[in-house]
Amino acid sequence: MSGGPAVLVTRPAGDADRLAELLAIAGWRPVAVPTVATEPVAPGILARAVERLATFDWVAVTSATAVDALAGAAALVGTMLPADPPRWAAVGPATAAALRASGLSEVLLPGRSRGAAIAEALLAVGSLAGRRILLPRADAADPELPQRLRAVGAVVEELVAYRTVEGPPASRAALLDALADPTLAAVTVASGSAARGLVRLTAGDPRAAGRLAALPLVSIGPATSVVVRGLGLAVAAEAAAPTAEALAAAVGSLPTLTAAMESHR
Protein backbone atom coordinates (compact mmCIF):
# COMPACT_ATOMS: atom_id res chain seq x y z
CA MET A 1 0.00 0.00 0.00
CA SER A 2 1.11 3.54 -0.73
CA GLY A 3 2.90 5.52 1.94
CA GLY A 4 1.46 8.80 0.63
CA PRO A 5 -1.10 11.07 2.30
CA ALA A 6 -4.25 9.36 3.57
CA VAL A 7 -7.69 9.82 2.01
CA LEU A 8 -10.80 8.74 3.90
CA VAL A 9 -13.20 6.49 1.98
CA THR A 10 -16.62 6.44 3.62
CA ARG A 11 -18.53 4.09 1.31
CA PRO A 12 -19.98 0.79 2.64
CA ALA A 13 -17.69 -1.50 0.66
CA GLY A 14 -14.68 -0.61 2.82
CA ASP A 15 -11.32 -1.87 1.64
CA ALA A 16 -12.98 -3.70 -1.27
CA ASP A 17 -14.30 -0.43 -2.71
CA ARG A 18 -13.18 0.39 -6.24
CA LEU A 19 -12.47 3.94 -5.05
CA ALA A 20 -9.96 2.66 -2.48
CA GLU A 21 -8.24 0.67 -5.21
CA LEU A 22 -7.99 3.68 -7.55
CA LEU A 23 -6.67 5.96 -4.81
CA ALA A 24 -3.96 3.44 -3.93
CA ILE A 25 -2.95 3.15 -7.59
CA ALA A 26 -2.64 6.95 -7.74
CA GLY A 27 -0.30 6.93 -4.72
CA TRP A 28 -2.70 7.89 -1.96
CA ARG A 29 -3.21 5.81 1.16
CA PRO A 30 -6.94 4.99 1.31
CA VAL A 31 -8.40 4.63 4.80
CA ALA A 32 -11.76 2.87 4.58
CA VAL A 33 -14.26 3.67 7.32
CA PRO A 34 -17.89 3.15 6.25
CA THR A 35 -20.07 5.96 7.59
CA VAL A 36 -23.21 4.35 6.19
CA ALA A 37 -24.31 0.73 6.24
CA THR A 38 -27.25 -1.26 4.94
CA GLU A 39 -29.50 -3.77 6.64
CA PRO A 40 -31.74 -6.27 4.86
CA VAL A 41 -35.50 -6.27 5.23
CA ALA A 42 -37.48 -9.41 6.03
CA PRO A 43 -36.95 -11.87 3.13
CA GLY A 44 -40.67 -12.58 2.82
CA ILE A 45 -41.45 -8.95 1.98
CA LEU A 46 -39.14 -8.94 -1.02
CA ALA A 47 -40.16 -12.45 -2.07
CA ARG A 48 -43.78 -11.35 -2.31
CA ALA A 49 -42.74 -8.29 -4.28
CA VAL A 50 -40.74 -10.42 -6.74
CA GLU A 51 -43.81 -12.57 -7.37
CA ARG A 52 -45.71 -9.41 -8.44
CA LEU A 53 -43.01 -7.84 -10.61
CA ALA A 54 -44.68 -8.81 -13.89
CA THR A 55 -47.74 -6.77 -12.92
CA PHE A 56 -45.74 -3.54 -13.24
CA ASP A 57 -44.98 -1.63 -16.43
CA TRP A 58 -41.64 -0.39 -15.11
CA VAL A 59 -39.26 -1.08 -12.25
CA ALA A 60 -36.97 1.89 -11.63
CA VAL A 61 -33.91 1.00 -9.55
CA THR A 62 -31.70 3.63 -7.96
CA SER A 63 -28.89 1.51 -6.48
CA ALA A 64 -27.02 -1.72 -7.04
CA THR A 65 -27.90 -2.64 -3.44
CA ALA A 66 -31.59 -2.71 -4.39
CA VAL A 67 -30.79 -4.92 -7.38
CA ASP A 68 -28.92 -7.36 -5.14
CA ALA A 69 -31.84 -7.42 -2.70
CA LEU A 70 -34.36 -8.20 -5.45
CA ALA A 71 -32.12 -10.80 -7.10
CA GLY A 72 -31.57 -12.48 -3.75
CA ALA A 73 -35.31 -12.60 -3.11
CA ALA A 74 -35.88 -14.07 -6.58
CA ALA A 75 -33.32 -16.79 -5.91
CA LEU A 76 -35.03 -17.52 -2.61
CA VAL A 77 -38.28 -18.35 -4.38
CA GLY A 78 -36.49 -20.24 -7.15
CA THR A 79 -36.93 -17.79 -10.00
CA MET A 80 -35.16 -14.96 -11.83
CA LEU A 81 -36.03 -11.31 -12.21
CA PRO A 82 -38.59 -11.11 -15.04
CA ALA A 83 -38.19 -8.96 -18.13
CA ASP A 84 -40.88 -7.35 -20.29
CA PRO A 85 -43.01 -7.07 -18.29
CA PRO A 86 -41.78 -5.22 -16.45
CA ARG A 87 -39.30 -2.98 -18.23
CA TRP A 88 -36.33 -1.90 -16.16
CA ALA A 89 -34.63 1.48 -15.62
CA ALA A 90 -31.43 2.19 -13.69
CA VAL A 91 -30.13 5.37 -12.11
CA GLY A 92 -26.55 4.95 -13.35
CA PRO A 93 -23.94 2.63 -14.89
CA ALA A 94 -23.24 0.63 -11.71
CA THR A 95 -26.93 -0.08 -11.14
CA ALA A 96 -27.40 -0.96 -14.82
CA ALA A 97 -24.44 -3.35 -14.63
CA ALA A 98 -25.97 -5.05 -11.59
CA LEU A 99 -29.26 -5.50 -13.46
CA ARG A 100 -27.48 -6.97 -16.47
CA ALA A 101 -25.53 -9.31 -14.19
CA SER A 102 -28.92 -10.50 -12.92
CA GLY A 103 -29.91 -11.49 -16.46
CA LEU A 104 -31.72 -8.34 -17.61
CA SER A 105 -30.22 -7.31 -20.94
CA GLU A 106 -32.60 -4.40 -21.71
CA VAL A 107 -32.08 -1.59 -19.21
CA LEU A 108 -33.03 2.05 -19.70
CA LEU A 109 -30.22 4.32 -18.54
CA PRO A 110 -30.77 8.10 -18.24
CA GLY A 111 -28.17 10.49 -19.54
CA ARG A 112 -27.66 11.90 -16.03
CA SER A 113 -27.08 9.73 -12.98
CA ARG A 114 -29.71 11.16 -10.68
CA GLY A 115 -32.86 9.50 -9.45
CA ALA A 116 -35.07 12.29 -10.81
CA ALA A 117 -33.52 11.83 -14.26
CA ILE A 118 -35.22 8.44 -14.46
CA ALA A 119 -38.58 10.23 -14.67
CA GLU A 120 -37.38 12.22 -17.68
CA ALA A 121 -36.03 9.08 -19.36
CA LEU A 122 -39.29 7.19 -18.84
CA LEU A 123 -41.30 10.09 -20.23
CA ALA A 124 -39.09 10.12 -23.31
CA VAL A 125 -40.21 6.53 -23.97
CA GLY A 126 -43.92 7.35 -23.72
CA SER A 127 -46.76 8.64 -21.55
CA LEU A 128 -46.71 7.45 -17.95
CA ALA A 129 -50.37 8.18 -17.27
CA GLY A 130 -51.79 5.12 -15.55
CA ARG A 131 -48.52 3.20 -15.83
CA ARG A 132 -47.63 1.08 -12.81
CA ILE A 133 -44.09 1.77 -11.62
CA LEU A 134 -42.28 0.01 -8.77
CA LEU A 135 -39.48 1.81 -6.92
CA PRO A 136 -37.40 -0.62 -4.82
CA ARG A 137 -35.17 1.64 -2.71
CA ALA A 138 -33.72 2.37 0.69
CA ASP A 139 -36.01 3.40 3.50
CA ALA A 140 -34.44 6.88 3.56
CA ALA A 141 -34.53 7.48 -0.21
CA ASP A 142 -35.11 10.96 -1.64
CA PRO A 143 -38.84 11.56 -2.33
CA GLU A 144 -38.21 13.57 -5.51
CA LEU A 145 -38.45 10.66 -7.98
CA PRO A 146 -41.84 9.29 -6.83
CA GLN A 147 -43.19 12.83 -6.64
CA ARG A 148 -42.20 13.54 -10.23
CA LEU A 149 -43.63 10.26 -11.48
CA ARG A 150 -46.96 10.79 -9.72
CA ALA A 151 -47.13 14.34 -11.07
CA VAL A 152 -47.33 12.94 -14.62
CA GLY A 153 -49.99 10.39 -13.76
CA ALA A 154 -47.96 7.28 -12.95
CA VAL A 155 -49.22 4.84 -10.33
CA VAL A 156 -46.16 4.51 -8.11
CA GLU A 157 -45.52 1.85 -5.50
CA GLU A 158 -42.50 2.34 -3.25
CA LEU A 159 -40.84 -0.77 -1.86
CA VAL A 160 -38.30 -0.69 0.98
CA ALA A 161 -35.68 -3.09 -0.42
CA TYR A 162 -33.12 -2.41 2.33
CA ARG A 163 -32.62 -0.14 5.29
CA THR A 164 -29.93 2.49 5.66
CA VAL A 165 -27.94 2.98 8.86
CA GLU A 166 -26.33 6.41 8.93
CA GLY A 167 -23.34 6.49 11.23
CA PRO A 168 -23.10 2.81 12.22
CA PRO A 169 -21.75 2.66 15.80
CA ALA A 170 -19.15 0.04 14.81
CA SER A 171 -17.39 2.68 12.69
CA ARG A 172 -17.02 5.36 15.37
CA ALA A 173 -13.67 4.31 16.86
CA ALA A 174 -12.09 3.78 13.45
CA LEU A 175 -13.35 7.16 12.21
CA LEU A 176 -12.00 9.02 15.24
CA ASP A 177 -8.64 7.29 14.72
CA ALA A 178 -8.62 8.29 11.06
CA LEU A 179 -9.40 11.93 11.85
CA ALA A 180 -6.60 11.97 14.44
CA ASP A 181 -4.09 10.88 11.77
CA PRO A 182 -2.00 13.96 10.84
CA THR A 183 -1.39 12.55 7.36
CA LEU A 184 -5.12 12.50 6.52
CA ALA A 185 -5.42 14.91 3.59
CA ALA A 186 -9.02 14.57 2.35
CA VAL A 187 -12.41 12.97 2.90
CA THR A 188 -14.61 11.49 0.18
CA VAL A 189 -18.39 11.09 0.37
CA ALA A 190 -20.48 9.29 -2.23
CA SER A 191 -23.99 9.85 -0.87
CA GLY A 192 -25.98 12.15 1.34
CA SER A 193 -26.40 9.26 3.77
CA ALA A 194 -22.63 8.85 4.03
CA ALA A 195 -22.25 12.57 4.70
CA ARG A 196 -24.89 12.52 7.42
CA GLY A 197 -23.30 9.41 8.91
CA LEU A 198 -19.93 11.12 8.93
CA VAL A 199 -21.26 14.04 10.94
CA ARG A 200 -23.23 11.76 13.25
CA LEU A 201 -20.13 9.74 14.11
CA THR A 202 -18.22 12.88 15.12
CA ALA A 203 -21.06 14.24 17.26
CA GLY A 204 -19.98 14.83 20.84
CA ASP A 205 -16.29 15.01 19.96
CA PRO A 206 -15.39 18.67 19.26
CA ARG A 207 -11.83 17.82 18.26
CA ALA A 208 -12.96 15.29 15.64
CA ALA A 209 -15.71 17.59 14.37
CA GLY A 210 -13.25 20.45 14.04
CA ARG A 211 -10.75 18.28 12.19
CA LEU A 212 -13.49 17.13 9.81
CA ALA A 213 -14.51 20.74 9.10
CA ALA A 214 -10.89 21.65 8.30
CA LEU A 215 -10.28 18.83 5.80
CA PRO A 216 -11.00 19.11 2.05
CA LEU A 217 -14.19 17.18 1.37
CA VAL A 218 -14.72 15.65 -2.07
CA SER A 219 -18.30 14.87 -3.15
CA ILE A 220 -19.48 12.43 -5.82
CA GLY A 221 -22.04 14.80 -7.29
CA PRO A 222 -24.49 17.72 -6.95
CA ALA A 223 -27.10 15.94 -4.83
CA THR A 224 -24.48 14.83 -2.31
CA SER A 225 -22.91 18.29 -2.31
CA VAL A 226 -26.25 19.84 -1.34
CA VAL A 227 -26.44 17.54 1.69
CA VAL A 228 -22.83 18.24 2.65
CA ARG A 229 -23.37 22.00 2.59
CA GLY A 230 -26.61 21.60 4.52
CA LEU A 231 -24.57 19.94 7.26
CA GLY A 232 -22.38 23.02 7.51
CA LEU A 233 -19.38 21.56 5.68
CA ALA A 234 -17.66 22.92 2.58
CA VAL A 235 -17.24 20.99 -0.66
CA ALA A 236 -13.67 21.32 -1.91
CA ALA A 237 -14.25 19.38 -5.13
CA GLU A 238 -17.05 17.56 -6.89
CA ALA A 239 -16.73 14.56 -9.20
CA ALA A 240 -17.62 15.15 -12.84
CA ALA A 241 -19.64 11.92 -12.90
CA PRO A 242 -21.04 9.61 -10.21
CA THR A 243 -18.33 6.98 -10.56
CA ALA A 244 -15.39 5.82 -8.49
CA GLU A 245 -13.07 6.88 -11.30
CA ALA A 246 -14.42 10.42 -11.37
CA LEU A 247 -14.34 10.68 -7.58
CA ALA A 248 -10.70 9.59 -7.52
CA ALA A 249 -9.91 12.14 -10.24
CA ALA A 250 -11.59 14.87 -8.20
CA VAL A 251 -9.36 14.00 -5.25
CA GLY A 252 -6.30 14.34 -7.45
CA SER A 253 -7.49 17.70 -8.81
CA LEU A 254 -7.15 19.53 -5.51
CA PRO A 255 -4.03 21.72 -5.40
CA THR A 256 -3.67 21.28 -1.63
CA LEU A 257 -3.69 17.50 -2.05
CA THR A 258 -1.17 17.67 -4.86
CA ALA A 259 1.12 19.64 -2.57
CA ALA A 260 0.61 17.07 0.19
CA MET A 261 1.56 14.30 -2.21
CA GLU A 262 4.70 16.13 -3.32
CA SER A 263 5.79 16.57 0.30
CA HIS A 264 5.75 12.78 0.73
CA ARG A 265 7.97 12.09 -2.27
Neighbours of 142 (CB within 10 A): 16
Answer yes or no: pTM beyond 0.75.
yes
Looking at residue 1, its pLDDT comes to: 42
CATH architecture of 39-165: 3-Layer(aba) Sandwich (3.40)
Q: Is the peptide bond before 86 cis (omega within 30 degrees of 0)?
A: yes
Looking at residue 149, its pLDDT comes to: 97
CB 122 within 8 A of CB 91: no
Neighbours of 137 (CB within 10 A): 25
Pick the CATH number of 6-35+167-263 from 3.30.70.20, 3.40.50.10090, 3.40.109.10, 3.40.50.720: 3.40.50.10090
DSSP 56-125: -SEEEE--HHHHHHHHHHHHHTT-----SSSEEEESSHHHHHHHHHTT---EE--SS-SHHHHHHHHHHH
Residues of the chain with CATH 3.40.50.10090: 6-35+167-263, 39-165
Print pLDDT tens along the chain (265 aa): 456 899 999 998 777 789 999 999 999 999 999 999 999 998 899 999 999 999 999 999 999 999 999 999 999 999 999 998 999 999 888 899 999 999 999 999 998 767 778 999 999 999 999 999 999 999 988 898 999 999 999 999 999 999 999 999 999 999 999 999 999 999 999 999 999 999 999 999 999 999 999 999 999 999 899 999 999 999 999 999 888 999 999 999 998 776 666 666 6
Looking at residue 167, its pLDDT comes to: 97
Give the H/E segment covering residue 153: none
Give the angle 18-224-5 at the CA atoms, nearest 5°.
50
Q: What is the 3-state secondary structure (H, E, C) of 186-221?
A: EEEECCHHHHHHHHHHHCCCHHHHHHHHHCCEEECC
